[in-house]
Amino acid sequence: MSNAKKTKRKLKKHSVVIFITTVLCLLVGGFLIFYLINENKFYQIESRVDKVAKKVKEDKAKIKTVGWLRVQGTKIDYPIIYAPNYNFTYDMEDFVWTETDFEKLNNIIYIKGHNILNLSKNPLIADKYHSRFEQLMSFTYLDFVKENKYIQYTFKGKEYLYKIFAISYPKTSDLDLYNKSKYSKTKLKKYIDESLKNSIFKFDVDVNNNDKILSLVTCTRMFGNNYSFKVDARMVRELEPIKNYDVKKTKEYDKVDEQMKGGSSNENEEV
């Protein structure tokens, strides 16, 4: 075989290798892009900055709008109010509130809301007639939690996303509901450890005292008048994908399951 034919064959073989390699790279690259796009479709951030600005202009006396809260899978999509001297009991507007007055993003933020119509030991899931924090009780159920794990928090013209890492029924007296300042690293670690220990679900989420925590708190009658319902989430870290993640029941859920077998009325007894 002549040198010219050998060279031509080598070039042809080389071209085929380059073609196959290019196709594989495009396929892999396309798969990665498709994967990343679909991973981040689990929760889509929708800006609430304009809504906050509008609400600020509508604020009543003694009320200060400080942000916005949006909870995946629910109609909780409300302004956050700071008004420590305001009586929220009979105000029927759809909002939630904080008693933490801050100018910077604290490493832990409590947000509270009323639950008036969903106090049953068998709470309804995302009922369209519920408002304020009544739909928060949907997170009692594993099937709901599996598909809804993100909380959007709008503050100071920016959108922050948090992922749920614990759900619990703490005694109301044990909650530091009047937190006014940033936690120390030691105090935050203790808070996180307690939340994980008491959680009715185990989430595949790494959380530590370098994270920023968001805690949503409301009323419940699951274990009587002296208990609250709490959803804890930590801020999504830089470059962390917005995707679904594993969750399963813990032994703490057995207590909830036992209570739910007891009935479906809005119980008011103390236990």
Two tokens at 49?
């900055």
Average pLDDT of the chain is 85
Half-sphere exposure for 254 (CA within 13 Å, toward CB): 3
Which pLDDT band, with edges at 50, 70 and 90, does 267 fall under? Answer: very low
The structural domains of the chain, with segments of one domain joined by +, span: 1-39, 49-260
Rounded Cα distance between 63 and 220, Å, is 26
Asked if pLDDT for residue 253 goes beyond 70, the answer is yes
Mean pLDDT of 129-149: 95
Measured from the Cβ of residue 93, the count of other Cβ atoms closer than 10 Å reads 12
Distances from the Cα of 140 to the Cαs of 16, 137, 157, 196, in angstroms? 58, 6, 32, 15
Q: How confident is the model at residue 266 (pLDDT cuts 50, 70, 90)?
A: very low
**Confidence band (pLDDT; 50, 70, 90) for 227?**
very high
- Give the integer Cα–Cα distance in Å for 35 and 37: 6
Higher-scoring residue by pLDDT: 176, 51:
51
What topology is assigned to 49-260 in CATH?
Sortase; Chain: A; (2.40.260)
Q: Which helix (H) or strand (E) holds 3?
A: helix 3-39
Average pLDDT in the 95-113 region? 88
